[in-house]
């Protein structure tokens, strides 16, 4: 079942003297974040709808956002680490063959014959690439790089991801 809303960006830090915050979109795309009237922020487990006064692209895959009522660096700093949640319909558009990281969660991990070897229960994003957390039938957890060397076809619709190198789960 598709998740209807998910984290699309993270507040990195305060920026400047007027209350702007620097945000990092998880997709690397900023266009779907700019010009919005509001965002839902999740701060320490609590969701809060925040009006946006201004937004603009900073550099690379970063953007700046100014929230209503956040008018200085001190109040902006309180938002550090907040997650920006958007509905699926407002997330970065997908190209052919792409999918959202959230859609990987819950997929069965199968071998070339279709035998289920485990279930993806999370994704850890890192500088060297994403790692999927696979829960095996014995309840052990394995971290596997989500790269072409290890994973082949992925069918979000049918609910599975093919692992090319099952030995990595040993």
- Domain holding 46: CATH number? 2.40.30.60
pLDDT band at 82 (very low <50, low <70, confident <90, very high): very high
Pick 94 or 135 by higher pLDDT. 135
Q: Are residues 37 and 75 in the same domain?
A: yes
Q: Could you tell me if 118 and 152 lie in one domain?
A: yes
* pLDDT attached to residue 98: 81
Q: How many residues does the chain have?
A: 170
23-27 LR contacts (CB < 8 Å, sep 24+) = 23/62, 23/63, 23/64, 23/65, 23/84, 24/61, 24/62, 25/61, 25/63, 25/92, 26/101, 26/125, 27/91, 27/92
What predicted TM-score, i.e. pTM, was given to this entire model?
0.72
Query: What's the domain range around 142?
Result: 101-169
Reported as a single tens digit per residue, the pLDDT across 111-122 is 999 999 999 999
Assess whether pLDDT exceeds 60 at residue 1.
no
> How far, in whole angstroms, is CA 19 from its chain's centroid?
25
Q: Identify which has the larger pLDDT, 115 or 90.
A: 115
The pLDDT of 56-76, averaged and rounded, is 94
């Amino acid at each position: 079942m598709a998740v209807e809303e998910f984290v699309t960006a993270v507040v990195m830090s305060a920026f400047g003297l007027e209350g702007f915050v620097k945000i990092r979109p998880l997709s690397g795309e900023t266009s779907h974040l700019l010009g919005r009237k509001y965002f839902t922020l999740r701060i320490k487990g609590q969701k809060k709808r925040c009006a946006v006064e201004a937004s603009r692209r900073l550099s690379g895959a970063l953007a700046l956002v100014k929230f209503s009522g956040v008018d200085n660096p001190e109040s902006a700093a309180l938002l550090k680490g907040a997650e920006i949640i958007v509905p699926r319909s407002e997330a970065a558009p997908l190209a052919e063959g792409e999918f959202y990281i959230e859609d990987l969660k819950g997929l069965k991990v199968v071998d070339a014959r279709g035998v289920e070897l485990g279930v993806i229960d999370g994704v850890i994003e890192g500088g060297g690439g994403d790692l999927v957390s696979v829960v095996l039938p014995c309840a052990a957890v394995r971290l596997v790089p989500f790269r072409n060397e290890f994973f082949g076809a992925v069918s979000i619709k049918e609910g599975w991801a093919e692992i090319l190198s099952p030995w990595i789960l040993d």
